[in-house]
A and B are shown apart, each in its own frame.
Chain A
Amino acid sequence: MRVHVTNRMNRVLSGCVLLCLGLAGSAVGQVTFERLVNSAKEPQNWLTYSGDYAGRRFSALDQVNTNTAPSLVAKWVYQTAATGKFETTPVVVDGILYATGPDNRVFALDARTGRLIWNYQRQLPGDIRPCCGRINRGVAVLGNKVFLGTLDAHVMALDSRTGNVVWDITAADYRLGYSFSLAPLAVKDEIILGVSGGEYGIQGFIDAYDANTGKRKWRFDTVPGPGQPGHDSWEGESWKTGGAPAWMTGVYDPATNQLFWPTGNPAPSNRGEGRAGDNLYSNSLLALDPDTGKLNWYFQFTKHDEHDWDATQVPILIDSSSQHLIAQANRNGFFYLLDRTTGKLLHANAYGKITWSDSKDAEGRPVANDVSSPTPEGRTVCPGALGATNWMSPSFDSQTSLFYVTVREQCDIFSTAPQPYIAGHAYYGSAYFPSDKSGPYSGSLKAIDPSNGQTKWEFQHISPTWSGVLSTAGGLVFTGDAEGNFIALDAATGKPLWHFQMGGAVYASPMAFAVDGKEYVAIAAGSSLYTFGLP
C-alpha cells in the first residue's frame, strides 16, 4: 500500500526523517560526487564497490586491529535464500547497507541490525545467458538513487529509500549474450559500467548514463569498428565477434579526471586462428576521459590472447612521492606497474606460476612463448583458464605499502578447435581441462611490494578461493576461503589472528563500515551476508 502525501506534508516528513534519524545517530544523506571524491573523510561509509575511487579496498577504520581482532564476533547475518554464487560487495551510506544477490536481487538493510528496509528483484527473462552464474557484484549510489546493471543487459536506477524503479533502460540485446554482472561506478553525474559476454562473441563496450534520466552520454567500443584506430588489429571480419567485454568495475582519478577501465578476452577465447593480430582493446587497461569517453591511452597486457585471460582485475591507483602509478595483478600471472599519466609500463613480474612467457618485449611486457598456444589435442599451460587471480578484488594498504592479492595455483590443458559463430550461442573455440600433472589445485593470499613486484609474505590456502581482500588501518587484512572461513591476518606478516566458519564458500570481496561509532566488517558467503564486530 502506498500512502499519498501532499508536497507540503512530504517536506515536513522529510525534515522529520532527517532530524529523527540524525538524532538516532544515522542521517540519510544524499551521496554527492564531492562525497565520492572525498570518501576518505568518512571512513564509516563504504560508498563505492572498491571503497574509494582509487580501487584500494582499504578501510581507515582501526577499532578492529591486531590487538582486538581475536575477539571479533558475528553481529548479524542476512539470508538471501538465493542459490548460486553470492558475489556482492555492499555499499554503506549513513547507516544503510545496499547490496545485491543472485538473480538481480537488490536489498537495503539497517547496517546495525541487518533488518530489511526494502528489497527489489528484477523479473528476468527465462532465456538469459549469463556466462558464469546468475550473479551480480553490487550497486553504485549517487544522489538518492541506487544503480544496478542486470543479467538481461538493462541499467536501472532505484530510489534509495524505497527500492522503487526510477528509470530502466536497455543497453544491449541479452539474446546475443550481453549482460551486466559488475557494480556500476558513479562519476560526476554519470553511471559508468562495462558489459559482460566475452563467451558469446559480443562486441564489448563501456557505457556512461546520465544518473538522473538514464540517457546514454557516451559509449566506448572496446572492439574498434572500421575506420577507428586499432581496427587493423583484427583479421578480416573477426572484429564483429571480437568480445573484449569490460565486466569489472574500473577506477577514477579525480586529480587528472581520468577513468581507468580494464577489459576482457577476445572471442573466441581459446582460438586465435581467424583473428590474427593484437585484437585491441581486449585484455587492456583503458584510460578514458569520463566526460566524453575518449581514449587517452591504453596498455594491452596479453596480446592476441588464446587462454581466456581477461585483464578485468580491479586496478589500483598508487601514489608515491613523485609518481602517479596504477598497479594490476593480472590474470595472466604477472603483476604490472604503470605510470598512469602516460600508460608507460614500469615493470612486470610474475607473482604466480607461469609457463606461457619467458621473455619480454622492448617495453618490458611479457610475450608469449611458442609452447603456449592451444593445440587440438591440448597443451598444458600455467596459469590455467581461471588465471593466477580473477575478479576477486585485491587491496592496497598505504601503511604497509603492500598490495594484497588472492592467487590461484592451477594449470590447465588448453585445446582448440574451429567453431562457427552462431548468434547468442557460446563461442569458445574449444575449451580447457584440468591438468592431471598439476597436482591438487592450491591458492594463497600474497602480499606484494608494488615497487618491485616481489612477494613479501604468503598465506597458503587449502584450496583456491574466490574471496577478495580488504585491508584496514587496524593493521589487518581480511579474506575468506573456499572452506567457508572468514579470516583476519596481520597485514605486516600474514599471520592469521582470527577466523570464523560461515558454513559456505566465499565468492566475494569483503568491506568495512561503522555505525554509531562501532566498526563492522562484512562479507558474503554461501547465500548469506555476514557482519562481524567487537563484542
Chain B
Amino acid sequence: MGRSSVKIMTFRLHVLLALVLSSALAGHAQEIAVDSGAAKAGEFEFRINCAFCHGLGARGGGRGPDLTRAQKRHGNSDAEMFRNISQGIAGTVMPANGTNGQGVGMTDEEINQIIAYLRSIQVKAPAKPLGDAAHGKQLFYGDANCSFCHMVEGKGGRQGPDLSGVGTSRTTDALIESVRNPSQKLAWGLTEPTKEFAQEYATVTVVTAEGKRITGVTLNEDNFSVQIMDGSERIHLLQKDKLTSIKKSRESIMPGYDTDTLKDQDLNDILAYLVSVATK
C-alpha cells in the first residue's frame, strides 16, 4: 500500500474547550505534521480497538470522550497520548492497550498510527460556544437542584454519578441527552476489575420480609443480592431470597429536565461549569 509521507497543512484550532478555557489557550496555533499513510492505518486500528467506546470517527460514544477535541483532559502531547493508550488512564475506565477485550491490542507502531489518525481529525472538533460557567455553578448548587444527587469535587449528593470529570469524559450531546432524557441511556456506575459490563444507575424498589418498602438506585447487583442507596443516601445490603418482591426499572430516578424546567441557555451554563471543573 502507498504510505507516502505527505505533510499536510497546519491547523488553527478553534475547539469547544479552548473557548471556555483561559485565553492563553484560545487562538493558539499548533503545528501538526501528519503522515497521511500512518493516519489511514491508524483509522483501521481505531475502529478495531477504540471505537467501541469513543465512537466511529472518534466523536465520542456513550462511554468514551470525544477525541476530536484538541484539548484532551489527560494530555495532548504525543508522549502523553501514547502513554494513555499504552497504559490506560488511572482512575478512569480507559484500559491499558490490549486489556479490554476489544480489538487485539496494538504494537507501538500501531499506537503511533492511532495518534497520527487523531491528529488528522482533530480539526473537525465542533466549535460550539458554551455558556457562563459561573452562572452554571450557581444553578448546579441552586435552582437546578443538580447537587441534591450529584457531587462535584467532593460537594453534593450521592445518589447520582460524581460529575467532577464528566465535562470532558462525555460528549456535549451525551450530556445534554442525559439531562433532558436521563432514562434514554442510564449512567454507568460501579465497574469491577474482572467484570465485562458496569453496573447501571437503575431504579429498584423492593419489599422486605417485614413489609418495608425501599426505593433507590442500584449500587450493585448479582443473581443473589442487591445493594440500594435510598433517597436519604442510606445503603441497604439485601439478600434477594429474603425479599418479598423486587421490581427493577430502567426509568431513571433522575427527573428529565425539559426546556420549561431548564432553559437551553441555563443548561449550557451548567455544561460550561462542568467543563470548567473537568479542565482545571
Contact = CB atoms under 8 A, between A and B. Distances in A.
Interface of A: 84, 127, 129-133, 199-200, 377-378, 415, 417, 419-420, 422, 425-426, 428, 430-434, 436, 439-441, 461-464, 466, 481-485, 487, 496, 499, 501, 504-505, 526
Interface string B103-117: 111010010000000
Q: Which of B45, B47, B61, B200 counts the most A-chain CB atoms under 10 A from its CB?
A: B47
B62 interface: yes
Chain B at the A interface: mostly helix, strand, loop or mixed? Answer: loop
A484 B222 contact: yes
A463 B197 CA distance: 7
Contact of A466 (B55, B103, B196): B196
A377 B59 CA distance: 14
Contacts of A430: 47
A439 B41 CA distance: 33
Contacts of A440: 186, 197, 200, 202, 250
Given A417-B47, A485-B224, A526-B194, A133 B101 contact: yes
A422 B44 CA distance: 11
B61 A428 contact: no
A132 B192 contact: no
B185 A422 contact: no
Contacts of B103: 426, 431
B196 A482 contact: yes
12 contacts: A133-B101, A377-B56, A415-B47, A417-B47, A430-B47, A431-B47, A431-B51, A432-B52, A440-B200, A466-B196, A483-B192, A496-B223
A499 B56 contact: no
Given A84-B99, A426-B104, A433-B51, A499 B192 contact: no
Contacts of A133: 99, 101
Contacts of A417: 44, 47
Contacts of B55: 433
B7 interface: no
B79 interface: no
Contact of B104 (A131, A420, A461): A131
Nearest to A86: B194
Given A415-B56, A426-B48, A436 B104 contact: no
Nearest to B200: A440
Contact of B62 (A419, A436, A466, A482): A436
Chain A at the B interface: mostly helix, strand, loop or mixed? Answer: loop
B56 A483 contact: no
Given A127-B107, A426-B104, A464-B197, A485 B222 contact: yes
Given A425-B110, A464-B197, A433 B56 contact: yes
B223 A132 contact: no
Interface in B237-270: 250
Nearest to A439: B250
Contacts of A432: 52
B196 A199 contact: no
B197 A431 contact: no
Contacts of B62: 434, 436
A84 B100 CA distance: 10
Interface in B21-63: 41, 44-45, 47-49, 51-52, 55-56, 61-62
A433 B104 CA distance: 15
A365 B194 CA distance: 37
A432 B106 CA distance: 17
A483 B185 contact: no
Q: Which 5 A-B pairs have the closest CB atoms?
A: A483-B222, A505-B194, A431-B47, A504-B194, A131-B104
A482 B105 contact: no
Contacts of A485: 222-224
A518 B153 CA distance: 56
Contacts of B194: 484, 504-505, 526
A464 B47 contact: no
A496 B1 CA distance: 57
B56 A378 contact: yes
A86 to B, nearest CB: 9
A224 to B, nearest CB: 26
B195 interface: yes
A436 B166 CA distance: 19
A302 to B, nearest CB: 21
Interface string B174-190: 00000000000110000
Given A131-B104, A422-B1, A462 B223 contact: yes
Interface string B190-225: 001111110010100000000000000000011110
Q: Which of B41, B56, B103 counts the most A-chain CB atoms under 10 A from its CB?
A: B56
Nearest to A499: B224
Contacts of A461: 223
